[in-house]
Structure 1
Amino acid sequence: MTATVPAAVPSAADPVRPSAAPVARFRRARPDLLVCAPLLAVILLVQGWNITAFPALSDDEGTYLSQAWAVQQGQGLAHYTYWYDHPPLGWIQLALVTWVPSAIAPPSMAVGSMRCVMLLVTAVSAVLLFVLARRLGLPRWAAALGMALFGLSPLSVVLQREIFLDNIAVMWMLLAFVLAASPSRHLWHHFGAGVAAATAVLSKETMLVVLPALLVTMWRHSHRDTRKFAVTGAVTACVLIGLCYPLYALLKGELWPGPGHVSLTDGILFQMRRTGSGSIFSAHSGAHAVLNSWLYYDRVLPLGGLAAVVLLLLTAYWSGTGRAVFGPVLAAALLAAVAMRPTGYLPAMYVIQALPFLALSLAGLAVAGTGLAERVARRVRRVAAARLLRWSAVGALGALTAAVVVPNWYDGDRSVETIDANAAYRSAALWMATKAGDPARTRVLVDDALWLDLVHQGYRPGTGVIWFYKADLDPAVSKTMPHGYRDIDYVVATPTVRRDAVNLPTVRAALDHSETVAAFGSGDNRIEIRRVPKEADGHPRVPQSPNSSRKDG
C-alpha cells in the first residue's frame, strides 16, 4: 500500500517538485509502446515502399498540392480562382507540411515526391487509432489488430499514400475521438475535441457526418457532474471555428451569389447538385463501380468491417464491448448510410473516412467473440478454464485471420510495392522539359497531376501551363485565349483529360485539331502529347502577356 502524505507548504529553500504521476503513467504505457512502435514501423515501411510509383497520379492530388503551392507562394488560396469547392484548411495544412522540402529543393514540389508527407499523416492517425482503442477499453492485442487493419490493408495502403484531404481530416477526427474519450475527463480535453472536430470538417466537409458519433462518445466518457459544461464547451468551440469559413466569405463579399464573383453559396449548391453516382446495389451505376474498385484491393476491411458494425449495433444493448466502441461503430454506420443512398455523388476517396472506424469495429467484434467464449466457460464456474478458453479463442481467431487475410493482403500489397504506374507521367514531363520548345513562350493544357512539374520547368503558371478545366470554366483564363484552341501549342492528353474533354468545348476542339507527337504507356492509361498546328484555320495565336496570369484568393 502507498501511504498518503499531506501536502507541505513550499518555501524558497524547498522548491516544488514535479508530480510523479506522469512518470507512473509513462511506465504503465510502456507495454503499449512496445506493441505500437514496431507495428507503426511495419506500417510505414509497407506504405512508404514504392510510394512515388503507385498508384497512378491523380488530378485531385495535383489540385490539392498545386493549391498548397499557391498558398506557399503568397498567390492566394488556389493556383486559379478559388471558388469555394472545398474549405481551404486542408491544403493550408499541406502547405505548412511541404514548405520545408519545397524550400530546400523547389523541383521536389511535385505529386510523386510530395506523397512522402502523407506518411506523417498515416503515422499520426495509426497511433491515434491505437490510443483510442485503448481508451475505449479494448485489450492491447485488439488495439494492435485495429491498427494493423487500418494501416496494412491494401485498400488503406493505396488510398493513404495519395495526397487527399480525407486523410488529413481523418487524422483530426481521430484526435477528436481520443480527446473525447479521455479518462481524466478534463474540460479542456472536451474543448480540444471540439476544436479538432472543427479542424476535421474544415479539412474535408463530409466529416460533418461523423459529428453525432463524436458527440455520443463525448457524452459517454464525460463526468456526470460536468457533462453539460463539457458538451457545451465542445459544441461551442466546434461551431465558432466552423463559422470562420462563412465569415471569410462574408468579409470577401463572396457569401452570396452575385455578378462578377464566385460565392460560398454557389459552391455549396454545386456540391449538392452534382450528378449522382446511383445506387451501389445497381450493377451499372457509378457508385457500384466505385465499390468494386474498393473491393478489388481488399474485401476484409470494407465488408468484414461493415458486418462487424451491424453485429455490434444489434448487440450493443447487452454487450459491454458493443457499448464501449459504440461511438466509432456509429461513425462507420453513418458513413455507410450516406454511401448507400441512391442519390448523391460517391467519390473514390470517400471510403478513407470510414477505414479507421471499420478497423475499430472489427477489433471490437474480435473482443466480443473472445469475451463470449470466456463467459461460456465461467458458466461452469471454472476460472482457469475460462482464461484458457479465452486465450484459445484469441489464438484461433489469429490463426483464422492469418489463413484468410494474409494471403489476400500479401498479393494486394505485393502489387502495390512493385508496380510502376507513373513511368508514363515521368516520361511525358521529361519530353515537355526537353523537346517542346521555349517554356516561357509555350502554352500547354495539362491535368493538375503534371501542372507543378511544368511550372518548375519554366512554364508560366496560370496561362502558360493551363489546368485543362480552366480553359473552359475560368473566365480569367479563357479571356487570354480569344481564338480558343488555336491559342494552344500542346495538349498533354492523360486519361483524365480525354475522359472529361467531352464536356469541355475548348479542350475537345484542341484534341480534335491536334496531332500526336509522342506517346507513353499503353491502352487506356497511355499519355499522348498532342501538338496543335501553329496556324490552324489561318488564325495566328495570340502571344502571352507577362502579366496575363492572375490568381484570386
Structure 2
Amino acid sequence: MTSTLPAVTTSTVPATRPAAPDIVHDRPPLQRLRTSRADLLLCGALLLAIIVVQGWNITDYPTLSDDEGTYLAQAWAVQQGKGLAHYTYWYDHPPLGWIQIAALTWIPAHINPSLMTVGSMRVAMLVVSAASAVLLYVLARRLSLPRWAAGLAMVLFGLSPLSVVLQREIFLDNIAVMWTLLAFCLAASPSRHLWHHFGAGIAAAAAVLTKETMLVVLPALLVTMWRHGHRDTRKFALTGAITACVLIGLAYPLFALLKGELFPGAGHVSLWDGITYQMSRPGSGFILDPGTGSYGVLHSWLYYDRVLIIGGLAGALLLLATWRWSVTARALAGPALTVAILALVALRPSGYLPAMYIIQALPFLALVLAGGAASLAHLVLRRWRGDEEKPYVTWGRRVTAAALVAVAALYVLPHWYDGDRTAVTADANAPYRAAATWLKTEVQDPADTRVLVDDALWLDLVHDGYRPGLGVIWFYKADLDPAVTKTMPRGWKDIDYVVASPTVRRDAVDLPNVKAAIEHSTPVATFGKGADRIEIRKIDESTGNTMTTTTSGGSR
C-alpha cells in the first residue's frame, strides 16, 4: 500500500473494481517528515528559498500601507499596556490578530524601541510565512499528494510574486491563514485522534478571532474533518470541534458584553455598531465589471501572477467535478471547496473587495493547482490495464511529460522572475523615510507640534518625540474619535502640519477637518512624484483651496 493516492482521472472506475477506502496511509505524515530525509531536505531547501526571497528588501517593497501601520500601532499599544488600540478601541476586527503581532515584535521592540516601525517590523511576518509554508507542505502530504507535488504547492505559495508582495505586509490575513492551515492539518490527521479534531476547532477559532472573514472557510474545514475522520467517531469528533470553535469564538462578544459595549449606547462604542458598519459598507462593484473598484483589485492581483489565480481556480473546478470517482479529488475536496467559497464571495455584485482578500485563498490555490498538476502527470504517465492500474511509461509519454513541464516553466518563470526581481530591488518607501526624517530634523519642538499623518508614519513620529495620540494624530481620528475632536475646539486650526500621503489625500474627501486642514495649508516639502508623492503641508490660516498645490521632485 502506497502513501500516495491515485491522481484525478476522468476515466470511469469499472464496476468490478473494489471501492477505494476512505483514506490510504501507511504512516502519519508528521512521522514521515521526521524520518524521511527526502521530505526534510526538500521542505528545508524550499523554506530557505522562500525566506530569502521574501526577506530580501522587505523594508523597501511594497509601499507601506495605512493598514499595516494601524495593526502595528495597536500592537504597540498592547505592548505599552495602553489597552487594545492606540486610540479609542473600535470593534472593527477582533483584537487577537494584533495581540499576536505584539508577541511577535515584543523582543526586538524591547531591545530597541526605535525598531517598532512598519518597515522594520515586517521582518516578523517572515516567521508567519515560514510557518504557513511548512504547514502547507504537511497538509499536502496528509492529503496524499506525492512529494514533488507537495513541494510544488510550497513553491507556488511562497515564491509567486503575488505571495511575495502580500505576505511581506503586516496584515491580519497572513496570521489568520497560518491558523487556518493548522486547522486543516489537524482535521486531516491520519492518526484520527479526537484531540486532533478538537485542536482543529481551536485553531479555526483562532483564525476567525484573528480575521473574522475566515468564518466563510469553516464549511470547507468541516468537509475535510468529516472526510478524514474515523467512521465510528467522526460525528463525536465533529461535534467536539464545532463546540470548541464556538465556545472560543464567543469570547469576543463576551468581552464586549462584560465591558458593556455589546449593544449601542450613549458615550461608548459597541460590537453591534461595528458589525453593522462592516455589513453596510459601500460595495466596490462586480469584480468582472470594468470600471469598478473590484475589477481594479482583480487586475492588480493578475498583474503579479495570473498562473496561480487562474490555474488554481481551474484546479478547484476539476477536483469538485471529479470527486465522485476520484480518490484524490475527494481527499482535496476541502481545499477545492475553500477556493470555490472564496471565489463566490468575491463575485458578490454588491460586496466590498479589499486588496488583501486574496491572501486567504493563496495556500489553497497553490494546493489545488499542485493537485491538478499531479493529476495531469498521472494521466500522461499511467494507463488502465484491465482491472488493475499498473505503471506503463513509454519514451513517448516521458517526452510528453517533459514537454509539458518545459512549456509551463517557459511561461511561468519569466513572469515570476520579473515580479520577484522588482520585489527584491525596488525602493517604494523612500518618500516615507524622507518625510519621517524631515519631521524629525526640521520641526523645532516635536513635543508641542500637532501633525496629521496616516498610520504608516505614526510610530516613526512617536519615536521621534511627538506626543502619541494628541501630538501625532492618525488622520481619521481628527474627525471620527470624540476623544480627539474634543481637544480640537477650533478644528483644523489646532493642527500644525498635515502629512498628505496618497491615503490621506484619497480619504480626506469624507473627513471635514482633514479636508479643511489640507485646503488651508501650503506644502513645505514634497517627496516623490505624481500620485505617490508625500507632501508635508504647514497649516496657514490665511490660505485656502491649495489642496492641489505641490512641489515636484525629491526631498529638500
Q: TM-score, normalised by structure 2?
A: 0.90
- In the alignment, does 2:191 pair up with 1:189? no
Aligned residues: 518
Give, in angstroms, the shift of residue 234 of structure 1: 0.6
Give, in angstroms, the shift of residue 26 of structure 1: 5.7
Residues 255-266 of structure 1: matches in 2 within 5 Å?
255-266=262-273
Report the CA distance shift for 1:237/1:425 in structure 2 as closer, same or farther (over 3 A): same
SS at match of 1:103: helix
Mapped partners of 1:218, 1:342: distance in 2: 31
Residue matched to 2:80: 73
Percent of counterpart pairs with the same letter? 69
Give, in angstroms, the shift of residue 190 of structure 1: 0.5
Residues 204-215 of structure 1: matches in 2 within 5 Å?
204-215=211-222
Give, in angstroms, the shift of residue 388 of structure 1: 6.8
- In the alignment, does 2:280 pair up with 1:273? yes
Residue matched to 1:159: 166
CA deviation profile, 1:531-550 (whole Å, cap 9, x unmatched): 0127889xxxxxxxxxxxxx
Mapped partners of 1:390, 1:176: distance in 2: 39
SS at match of 2:123: helix
Mapped partners of 1:221, 1:256: distance in 2: 40
Residue matched to 2:65: 58
SS at match of 2:248: helix
- In the alignment, does 2:313 pair up with 1:302? no
Structure 2 residue corresponding to 1:524, chosen from 526, 531, 553: 531
Give, in angstroms, the shift of residue 226 of structure 1: 1.0
Residue matched to 1:4: none
| Range that drifts further, 453-462 or 319-328 | 319-328
Give, in angstroms, the shift of residue 414 of structure 1: 0.8
Residue matched to 2:494: 487
Report the CA distance shift for 1:31/1:250 in structure 2 as closer, same or farther (over 3 A): same
The answer to whether the 8 A contact 1:486-1:535 is kept is no
Mapped partners of 1:184, 1:393: distance in 2: 38
Give, in angstroms, the shift of residue 417 of structure 1: 1.1
- Matching residue's letter, 1:94: I
The answer to whether the 8 A contact 2:518-2:537 is kept is yes
Mapped partners of 1:418, 1:510: distance in 2: 36
- In the alignment, does 2:151 pair up with 1:144? yes
- Matching residue's letter, 1:341: R
- In the alignment, does 2:240 pair up with 1:237? no
Residue matched to 2:131: 124
The answer to whether the 8 A contact 2:145-2:371 is kept is yes
The answer to whether the 8 A contact 2:521-2:541 is kept is no
Report the CA distance shift for 1:238/1:380 in structure 2 as closer, same or farther (over 3 A): closer
Give, in angstroms, the shift of residue 461 of structure 1: 0.5
Mapped partners of 2:282, 2:151: distance in 1: 40
Residue matched to 2:345: 338
Residue matched to 1:17: none
The answer to whether the 8 A contact 2:521-2:543 is kept is no
- In the alignment, does 2:475 pair up with 1:468? yes
- Matching residue's letter, 2:88: T
| Range that drifts further, 108-117 or 304-313 | 304-313
- Matching residue's letter, 2:73: S
Residue matched to 1:429: 436
CA deviation profile, 1:383-429 (whole Å, cap 9, x unmatched): 45348777656534432221111011101111111110000000000
Report the CA distance shift for 1:371/1:422 in structure 2 as closer, same or farther (over 3 A): same
- Matching residue's letter, 1:152: L
Residue matched to 1:547: none
Give, in angstroms, the shift of residue 80 of structure 1: 0.5
Q: TM-score, normalised by structure 1?
A: 0.91
Mapped partners of 1:383, 1:228: distance in 2: 37
- In the alignment, does 2:440 pair up with 1:400? no
Name structure 1 gaps, 5 residues minimum: 1-20, 538-553
Give, in angstroms, the shift of residue 143 of structure 1: 0.2
SS at match of 1:376: strand
- In the alignment, does 2:185 pair up with 1:178? yes
Give, in angstroms, the shift of residue 115 of structure 1: 0.3
CA deviation profile, 1:252-289 (whole Å, cap 9, x unmatched): 00000111100000000000000001101110111001
Aligned-residue RMSD, C-alpha: 2.0
Mapped partners of 2:357, 2:468: distance in 1: 30
The answer to whether the 8 A contact 2:383-2:390 is kept is no
Residue matched to 1:508: 515
Mapped partners of 1:515, 1:310: distance in 2: 55
- In the alignment, does 2:104 pair up with 1:97? yes
Mapped partners of 1:195, 1:94: distance in 2: 19
The answer to whether the 8 A contact 2:381-2:401 is kept is no
Residue matched to 1:228: 235
Mapped partners of 1:212, 1:396: distance in 2: 39
Name structure 2 gaps, 5 residues minimum: 1-27, 545-556
Residue matched to 1:202: 209
Give, in angstroms, the shift of residue 322 of structure 1: 1.2
Report the CA distance shift for 1:393/1:43 in structure 2 as closer, same or farther (over 3 A): farther
- Matching residue's letter, 2:122: R
Give, in angstroms, the shift of residue 374 of structure 1: 3.9
Residue matched to 2:175: 168
The answer to whether the 8 A contact 1:128-1:174 is kept is yes
Structure 1 residue corresponding to 2:326, chosen from 315, 319, 329: 319
